[in-house]
Amino acid sequence: MGTIVNFSKLAKLRAKTDRDLVRILDSDIDRGLALGNVAATRQSTFYEQAEKVYSRTIAILARASSLHEDETAGLERKLRELRMALDLVPAARDAEDVAVLF
């Protein structure tokens, strides 16, 4: 009987950990979206930080097999939004274009 109780406690702890992970990833993706939306070029620090958020979240989701499908669906939707925002950030101008401006 003690073993059943221990598994129940472990299951509750795992569920809480999964919920916490989803909240952390969700707010991290929000931060990545904000950074991606203010990045002027792909060489900016904001862009690099947003790319790191994207890569890190993809890696974590690939390993987090215990998350429910409905939990990951929302995160994956937001990740697609982040990817689109990052893809819209223009590449840096080359040196000749910058020289013409000055």
Please give the distance of CA 62 from its chain centroid, rounded to a whole number: 12
Determine the pLDDT at residue 22.
93
Is residue 97 in a domain? no
Residue 18, domain member (yes or no): no
pLDDT of residue 102: 47
Q: How many domains does the chain have?
A: 1
Q: What are the percentages of helix, strand and coil residues in the chain, rounded to 5?
A: 80, 0, 20
Domain extent at residue 41: 24-90
User: And the tokens for 82?
Assistant: 């982040």
**Residue 11 domain flag:** no
CA 59 to chain CA centroid, Å, is: 9
Q: For residue 13, is it within any domain?
A: no
Q: What is the pLDDT along the chain (102 residues), one digit of tens a residue?
A: 455 667 888 888 888 888 899 999 999 999 999 999 999 999 999 999 999 999 999 999 988 878 888 888 999 999 999 999 999 999 876 544 544 444
- Measure CA 90 to chain center: 20
pTM: 0.79
- 5 occurs within a structural domain: no
User: Given this model, what pLDDT does residue 95 score?
Assistant: 44
Q: Please give the pLDDT value at position 69.
A: 86
Residue 36 covered by a domain = yes
Rounded Cα gap, residues 68 and 74, in angstroms: 11
Q: Answer whether residue 19 is part of any domain.
A: no
